[in-house]
Amino acid sequence: MAAPWKERELQRREEEILRVARQLLLDHGYFGMTMDRIAAGIEYSKGTLYQHFASKEDVLCALALESEVKRKEFFERAAQFSGNARERMTAIGAAYELYFRLHPTYFRSEQMIHSQELLTKISQERRDQVMVCGARCHELMTGIIADAQTARQLHLPGGMTPGTLAFILWSLTSGAYLNMADPGHLEQMGVVNAIEAVRMACQTLLDGLGWRPLSSEHDYFAVASRAYAEIFPKETAEVFLAANR
C-alpha cells in the first residue's frame, strides 16, 4: 500500500470524476449532476465515488476549488505585471475579466459553495483550501494598494484600509459578473458592454480616490490590452476564438 503508482492512480481517478462532474454540471445544472450519473460516467461505482468525496456538495466544492486555483494563478501572474501600482491593479482587473470570460460556468459553481447552506457538508480540508485561494487573491490586491501608498501615489481617506479597498473592487467586479449571469437582465437594463462598464467603473473609482497616475493622465485601457497581450497571450487568443465561433 501507499505505493507511489497507486497514489497516482487515485489522483488520475479523481481528475476523471471531476471531469465528468463538470460536464454534467455544465449540461444539466446542479440538480442534474447526480452522483449516480457521475458514477455511470466513470467506470466505477457510486461507493468508490464516496471514497474520494464526502458528499455531492464536496464534489461541487472540488470543482469550485479548481476554479479558485485557476483564478488565483491568474491573479499571481497579473500581480507580476511590469509597471506602477495602478497599472498592476489594472492587470489584476484584466486577469479577472479573462478568467470570467474563459470560465463563466466555473464562476457560477464558485458562487454556490459560498452559500453556507452547502458549506456544512464539505470536507474541512477542501473548505480551507478554498479559503486560502480567496485570501491569496485578496492579499495580492492589498499588497498592490499598499505599494501605491508607499510610493505616495495613493492616499486613502480615513477609515479606508487597503483591505477595504480590495474588498470594494472585488465586490464591484464579482457583483457585476454575477448580474451578467442573469439572462436578459442586462438587456433589460440597457447595458451594452458590461465588461467594459466594469473596467470603466473601477478606473473611475480609483480616480475618485486620487490614485496616481489618474486615468486622465494615463490610458489604462491600453494598459489592460498590454496585460492581455503580455501576460495572457494564449488565454486571450482562446477567448477571441471562442467569441468568433
Partner DNA sequence: GAAATAATTTGACGATCCGTCAAAACTCGC
Partner DNA sequence: GCGAGTTTTGACGGATCGTCAAATTATTTC
Which one of the spans 42-50, 90-98, 162-170, 219-227 is the region binding DNA (CB under 7 A)? Answer: 42-50
Q: Tell me the C-alpha distance between 34 and 80, whole Å.
A: 41
Rule CB under 8 A: say whether 182 interacts with a second copy: yes
Which one of the spans 10-18, 76-84, 112-120, 230-238 is the region binding a second copy (CB under 8 A)? Answer: 112-120
Q: Tell me the C-alpha distance between 114 and 128, whole Å.
A: 13
Residue 186 contact partner, candidates a second copy, DNA, none, CB within 5 to 8 A by sort of partner: a second copy
Beta strand extents in 28-168 (DSSP E only): none
All residues at 6 or more sequence positions from 181 whose CB lies less than 8 Å from its CB, including other chains? 104, 107, 108
Residue 206 contact partner, candidates a second copy, DNA, none, CB within 5 to 8 A by sort of partner: a second copy
Rule CB under 7 A: say whether 34 interacts with DNA: yes
3-state secondary structure of 103: coil
Length of the chain: 245
Return the number of the residue (118 or 140) whose C-beta is nearest DNA: 118
* Structure letter (DSSP) for residue 214: P
Rule CB under 8 A: say whether 193 interacts with a second copy: yes
Min CB(39)–a second copy separation in Å: 22
Min CB(181)–DNA separation in Å: 22
What is the x/- site pattern for a second copy, positions 206-235, by CB under 8 A? xxxx--------------------------
Residue 204 contact partner, candidates DNA, a second copy, none, CB within 5 to 8 A by sort of partner: a second copy
Q: Quickly tell me which residue has 492589498 as its cell.
A: 142
Q: Which of 6, 46, 155, 197 binds a second copy (CB under 8 A)?
A: 197
Q: Which of 190, 241, 244, 245 binds a second copy (CB under 8 A)?
A: 190
Q: Output the CA torsion 86→81→161→194 (10° steps).
A: 70
8 Å CB contact between 220 and 203: yes
Q: Tell me the C-alpha distance between 228 and 143, whole Å.
A: 21
Q: Which of 41, 44, 83, 218 binds DNA (CB under 7 A)?
A: 44
8 Å CB contact between 164 and 146: no
Residue 43 Cα to chain centre, angstroms: 31
Amino acid identity of 223?
V
Cβ atoms within 10 Å of 100's Cβ, excluding its own? 22
Rule CB under 7 A: say whether 110 interacts with DNA: no
Q: List binders of a second copy among 18-57 (CB under 8 A).
A: 29-31
For a second copy, the binding residues (CB under 8 A) are: 29-31, 108, 111-112, 114-117, 131, 134-135, 138, 142, 157, 159-161, 163-164, 166-168, 170-176, 178-179, 181-183, 185-186, 188-194, 196-198, 200-201, 203-209
